[in-house]
Amino acid sequence: MLSKTFFPQHPKAGEPTEFREKVLTGTKRHTCRCNYDYWKTRIETLKKRQGILSLRQWSGKPYQKGSTQEPILDIAASLIDVQQLVMTRKKLDEPEYVEVEPGLYQPRPAYDYEARIDGEPYDVEFVAKNDGLSLEDFKEWFNPVFDEYAQQVALTKGNEVIEPSELTMVFAVIHFTTFRY
């Protein structure tokens, strides 16, 4: 399942992602998912069975009554693959300022990302482009995932919660084409 619109925590919440069009034109070559081991096993099983990966998107809110799954593209298992993406998010010393309403800016933490695919370093902007997103949209896509993980690994010192300034997580890159890193 690919998202038809940006999710509520994203700055572009509710706007179309255009993932369907990007898959069909080949500009979205893959998707990134949590739980690498799960996806590696699923893709290996699909390939052994010579199955088909069916890309879909929701019409309406996911899992809600009246919502349906719209087909995007069916892809032969021989074309798909999964690679391990290890992303690191580092908190920068200076916050960034985001416009919360016209003319009103608010500080929020700023982060830098690093990516390694199957152990090799890659420019995050290149990975984002192949995922059908701009660098900023890609970072914003993963910020909530890292924020949730930060809460899980945060330390408590007295009444203060200390979140780590650097986090590393493992993801799966699920390829829709013959492109590989």
pLDDT at 157: 65
In a domain? residue 118: yes
In a domain? residue 9: no
For residues 42-80, b (16+ Cβ closer than 10 Å) or e, as one string? bbeebbeeebebebbbbeeeeeeeeeeeeebeebebeeb
- What is the maximum alpha-carbon separation in the chain? 56
pLDDT at 151: 86
Amino acid making up residue 121:
P
In a domain? residue 122: yes
User: Considering the entire predicted model, what is its pTM?
Assistant: 0.89
In a domain? residue 5: no
pLDDT at 179: 96
In a domain? residue 181: no
pLDDT tens for the chain, 181 residues long, are 998 988 888 989 889 999 999 999 999 999 999 999 999 999 999 999 999 999 999 877 777 787 888 999 999 999 999 999 999 999 999 999 988 889 999 998 999 999 999 999 999 999 999 999 999 999 999 999 999 998 888 876 677 777 889 999 999 999 999 999 9
Name the domain count of the chain. Answer: 1
d(CA 15, CA 6): 6
In a domain? residue 76: yes
